[in-house]
Amino acid sequence: MKVLLINGSPRREGNTYTALREAANQLEKNGIETELMWLGNKPVYGCMACMQCKARGNNRCVMDDDITNAVIGKMEHSDAIILGSPVYYGQPAGQLLCMQQRMLYAGTPVFWGKPAAVVTVCRRGGATAAFQTLQMPFQMCSMPLVGSQYWNIAYGREAGQSAQDTEGMQTMRTLADNMTYMLRQFATGTAEKPEQEAPQPMHFIR
């Protein structure tokens, strides 16, 4: 089984990457193959409502000069997806949202019914709004949402600071364990529920 993780931050190895890497490491520890893909910092088109993807019936967007179709192609060989985004003005990164809308509409059959999760990272606030925004399109493709012990959120400002959010990192590992359980349960119907780590609640008031 394989999980595709998409880093939707324009910063290649910032706090969004750190959170996704924690989840990927736990998935790999559980025997699940992962691929962590960077969205990059080149423009990503928004949907133009041209309907050519449906007319052609090839599960690809007619606009083929950004990363969207590459993600659809990788999902043809993946069993689940995790989208990670920084938070800008209480919203996900714009290029990630554009890609998500186009990949799900053009490539609906590729994504249909596969488990999905969202991870958002912020300095202070707005993470839950961005989190909810990215989850909603998955629900329209019958994709079971994978949760954790808390919303899949981590905190940090400078690159790598989210690693200091011990509760956030535990949330990423629990998310990975829950996704592993879901994938195995779907595949065999005999998976054992993961053992939960002892909670590590924290805050940033020093």
Q: What domains can you pick out in the chain, each with its CATH number?
A: 2-188 (3.40.50.360)
Stretch 115-120: mean pLDDT: 98
The answer to whether the predicted template modeling score (pTM) of the entire model surpasses 0.75 is yes
Lowest mean pLDDT: which of 11-25, 133-147, 183-197? 183-197
Alpha-carbon distance 73 to 60, whole Å? Answer: 9
Residues 6+ apart with CB under 8 A from 188: none
Stretch 92-103: mean pLDDT: 98
- Number of other residues whose CB lies within 10 A of the CB of residue 120: 29
Q: What mean pLDDT is reported for the chain?
A: 96
Stretch 90-98: mean pLDDT: 97
Per-residue pLDDT for 204 more than 80? no
Per-residue pLDDT for 206 more than 80? no
Report which of residues 59 and 202 the model is more confident about. 59
Long-range contacts of 55-59, Cβ-Cβ distance < 8 Å, separation of 24 or more: 59/106, 59/107, 59/108, 59/109, 59/110
What are phi and psi for residue 145, nearest 5 degrees?
-85, 135
pLDDT digits (tens, 9 = 90+) for 7-48: 999 999 999 999 999 999 999 999 999 999 999 999 999 999
Stretch 126-150: mean pLDDT: 97
Question: Nearest Cα to 152, choosing from 103, 118, 104, 191?
Answer: 118
Q: What is the predicted pLDDT for the residue at 203?
A: 83
Q: What is the predicted pLDDT for the residue at 186?
A: 94
pLDDT digits (tens, 9 = 90+) for 51-73: 999 999 999 999 999 999 999 99
- Number of other residues whose CB lies within 10 A of the CB of residue 127: 23
Cβ–Cβ under 8 Å, residues 125 and 86: no
Q: Give the pLDDT band of residue 169 (cuts 50, 70, 90).
A: very high
Q: What is the predicted pLDDT for the residue at 196?
A: 87
Angle at 92 between CA 90 and CA 95, to 5 degrees: 140
